[in-house]
A = this chain, B = another copy of it.
Amino acid sequence: MTAQIASSRVQRSSDMLAAPSLDSILALTAPGMECVNAVILTHMQSDIPLIPALAGHLISGGGKRMRPMLTVAGAELVGYAGEHQYKLAAAVEFIHTATLLHDDVVDGSDLRRGKAAANIIYGNPATVLVGDFLFSRAFQLMVGAQNLRVLDILATASAVIAEGEVDQLTAQRKVETTEAHYLDIIAAKTAALFAAACRVAAVVADRPAQEEQALDDYGRYLGVAFQLVDDAIDYDSEAAEMGKGKGDDFRDGKMTLPVILAYAAGDEEERQFWRDAIAGFLNSDEDLERAVTIIARHGTVAATRQRAEEYAQKAIAALSIFPPSPIRVAMEEAALFAVARRY
């Protein structure tokens, strides 16, 4: 990178509070992400044509590729000179894609990223099996990085994700779910993979434990912030429509922070509404509208975003052990973006 670009990035960071974006991190990781995308395309192939067709439906469906981007950014942050980060980033994306495919089956989703979900087009059986295929491919890719600790970290993250998903399933339709339980769930189902995606960059680069931990912290806090904002947007009267069906959490009876806070702050009439709605007895468009109205009255979308902002600040603080650099600034801005986004 030229000094000119570097200085323009640092310059930019001074006004990033105004409108944080992913532009910097996207630009700095673009060459690496080209390599990652090539690995993804090569390794989703199979002699069984349904596999690349179904996997491609989701993989080329325009996700943000946040997680693999974090692996590439992390490798740049620690000054890694090798090439293993591309395989690892692709593995991280495959694990994520596998969980999305299985989530769509689990939730009976109709939409994913604004398109028909894979299970709707290809059916549940193929969707489950192609998830399994991608999950296996992820481990094949990791073996390529020739590092057992990386395998341990990502295998453990995968187990924790599954635990978080089952935990969420158990908590579904239970209005008494506590904030602490909810935070446990999102730490497992979302933040664990963000943390692992970041940490493995330091591991392949053979960096000291302190740097590994700092990257893990950054990813974990960012993951929590990211999920909190996802959950806020689902009830945000001002947010644009998301890719997934708006109000899905409400109809699925998932207890997310905006609802947990609204239930805690509500009067008895509102609490009865939440009990009936989360139990699944109130799930019409009008019921969703009422939920959004109650949540707006108590300001719990804003409170959830505020909580996310605190996690984003912790993520940023975790990076302070690294010397200032354009990629560090871009990663800081990415944390702010995760919170500021409206979609």
Residues of A within 8 A of B (CB): 46-51, 98-99, 102, 105-107, 124-126, 128-133, 135-137, 139-140, 142-143, 146, 148, 151-152, 155-156, 158-159, 161-163, 165-167, 169-170
Contacts and interface: CB of A to CB of B under 8 A. Distances in A.
A135 B135 contact: yes
Nearest to A146: B148
B152 A140 contact: yes
A195 to B, nearest CB: 15
A102 B129 contact: yes
Contacts of A142: 151, 155
Nearest to A154: B139
A46 B165 CA distance: 13
A155 B136 contact: yes
B139 A162 contact: no
Given A105-B124, A136-B159, A152-B143, A50 B169 contact: yes
A130 B51 contact: no
A151 B128 contact: no
Contacts of A155: 136, 139-140, 142-143
Contact of A166 (B98, B133, B139, B163): B133
Count of identical protomers in the assembly: 2
A145 to B, nearest CB: 9
Contacts of A148: 143, 146, 148
B46 A130 contact: no
Nearest to A125: B106
A166 B118 CA distance: 14
A239 B45 CA distance: 41
Contacts of A51: 162-163, 166
Nearest to A46: B163
Given A50-B166, A169-B50, A159 B140 contact: yes
A129 B165 contact: yes
A99 B159 CA distance: 16
Nearest to A132: B162
A137 B159 contact: yes
B106 A129 contact: yes
A240 B48 CA distance: 35
16 contacts: A48-B163, A51-B162, A51-B166, A106-B128, A124-B124, A125-B169, A126-B166, A128-B128, A129-B166, A130-B166, A135-B158, A136-B161, A136-B162, A142-B151, A143-B152, A146-B148
